[in-house]
Amino acid sequence: MTDFKLNRRAFLKTAAAGAAGAGALGLPTMASAAGLTIGIVYVGPRDDFGWNQAHAEAAKVLKGVPDVTVVEEENVPETVAVAKSMESMINLDDAKMIFATSFGYYKPFVLDLAGKYGDVQFRHAAPLWTDEDPKNAGSYFGYLDQAHYVDGVAAGLSTTSNRLGFVAAKPIGTVLRNINSFLLGAKKVNPDAEVQVIFTGEWSLPVREAEATNALVNANCDVITCHVDSPKVVIETAEARGVKTCGHNASQAPLAPKGFITGAEYKWSTIYTQYAADLAAGKTLPNFIGAGFDKDFVQNTPYGAGASAEAIAAADAARAEVKAGKPIFTGPILKQDGSVLVGAGASLDNYDPMLDRTDFLIEGVIGSIT
C-alpha cells in the first residue's frame, strides 16, 4: 500500500519535472518557496558522545537558521532502510536537501535516490563523490586527521612508556589516516613513540571496545585514543584504569575528569550552515567540500586535567602550523612493509588525494589491517 503511494508520487514528480523541462539542478525555485526543509539521517543515536552527536549538534545550529526546517531520523542502518527514510523525507516532508551522515549510506542508496529525485540535493559525509556520480549528489568532509595529529602531539608529551593505544573500528581509509596522523604528531615531539592499534571490526560494539581498551592498557599503553562511533566506553574504561585519554568525534572531557588530554572533533555546523546559506542565496552547491583547521571544519576539545602545560603549548603550536598549511606527512616516512611513503626532505600536502585512499599503516604503528 505504502509502496504504491510512494511510486505514484515518484511518478507524478518525475512527470512534472519532465514537463517543466527542468534539468538536474532545480535549485533556485525551492529557495523562493516557504522555506527549506533539510533531512538528516543518522546511523546511531543522536547523543552517543560521538559521530552522531557531532552531526546532531550541527543540526541544532542549523535549526536556528531562519526559514530552515530540519527533519531527523536516527538509528537508521546502512541498508535499504536508509533509502526508505530518505525517500519518505523527500515525499512526505518535502525535503529538498538530504544529509546522509554514515559511510555506508552512499553506495548504492544515495546514488540511486539522487538519480531518481533530480531536484533534491544529496550530501554525504565522507569523501566518496566522484565526477561520474550524479551532479545533485556530493560529499562533504572534515579532515579529522589534522585534529588527531594535534592530539598525537599532546599524547607524545604525556606518555612515559612511549606506547600509545588506539582502539579502531574498521580498517577503512579515514580510520587508517587518523591512526597514521596521530603517530606522526606523537613522533614530532617524541621520536620513540609508537602506536598500538586494536581493530574491533564494528563501529559500535561496547563490550569489545572495553576489552580492547583493557588489552591496550595491559600491553603498557598509557595514553588511549580511539576511532569508533561512540567513544564513551573507551574513555570511561581507560579512565578507570588510570591512564590518559584523547577523545574523538565529540567532547568526551566530562567522562574522564582526571586523565582527559584533548580530543579530535568535527565542526559540521560550519559546513551545514554554509550549505543552507548557499541554498537560500540560490547558489549552486559544490559537489565536494573538505577542509580541516584552515576552514574551521575540525577542532580540538578544550584541554582536560590530563594535559600538561608542555603538552598544551606544543599542541597549540602544532595546530597553528597545520592551520597555516604546514604538511603533516613530512619525510622520511616508511610504510609498515618498509616501502617508502614519503622520501627524506619531501612531504605530502595535507589534502593530497593520495591520502584519501590510505590503505596502509606507517612504520611505528603496531597492528595489522587484515
* Binding footprint of other proteins on the chain (CB under 8 A): 44-45, 47-49, 75, 196-201, 204-212, 214-219, 230, 232-233, 236-237, 240-241, 254-255, 366-368, 370
Residue (7 or 75) nearer to other proteins, CB? 75
Residue (190 or 230) nearer to other proteins, CB? 230
* 272 DSSP 8-state letter: H
User: Can you tell me the distance from the alpha carbon of 210 to that of 224, in angstroms, rounded to the nearest whole number?
Assistant: 12
Residue (119 or 239) nearer to other proteins, CB? 239
Q: How far is the CB of 341 from other proteins (least distance, A)?
A: 20
User: Can you tell me the distance from the alpha carbon of 198 to that of 165, in angstroms, rounded to the nearest whole number?
Assistant: 8
**Identity of residue 45:** P
Is 347 within 8 Å of 369 (Cβ atoms)? Answer: no
Residue (55 or 188) nearer to other proteins, CB? 55
DSSP 33-96: SS-EEEEEE-SS-TTSSSHHHHHHHHHHHHHTSTTEEEEEE-S--SSHHHHHHHHHHHHHS--S
E strand spans, 88-222:
97-100, 121-124, 139-142, 163-168, 194-199
Q: How far is the CB of 226 from other proteins (least distance, A)?
A: 13
**Identity of residue 241:** R
Q: How far is the CB of 193 from other proteins (least distance, A)?
A: 17
User: Can you tell me the distance from the alpha carbon of 292 to that of 294, in angstroms, rounded to the nearest whole number?
Assistant: 5
Residue (200 or 301) nearer to other proteins, CB? 200
Residue (153 or 228) nearer to other proteins, CB? 228
Q: How far is the CB of 268 from other proteins (least distance, A)?
A: 19
> Which residues have a Cβ under 8 Å from the Cβ of 354 and sit 6 or more positions away?
348
Residue (31 or 215) nearer to other proteins, CB? 215
User: Can you tell me the distance from the alpha carbon of 120 to that of 18, in angstroms, rounded to the nearest whole number?
Assistant: 15
Provide the H-helix boundaries in 64-159.
80-92, 111-116, 145-156
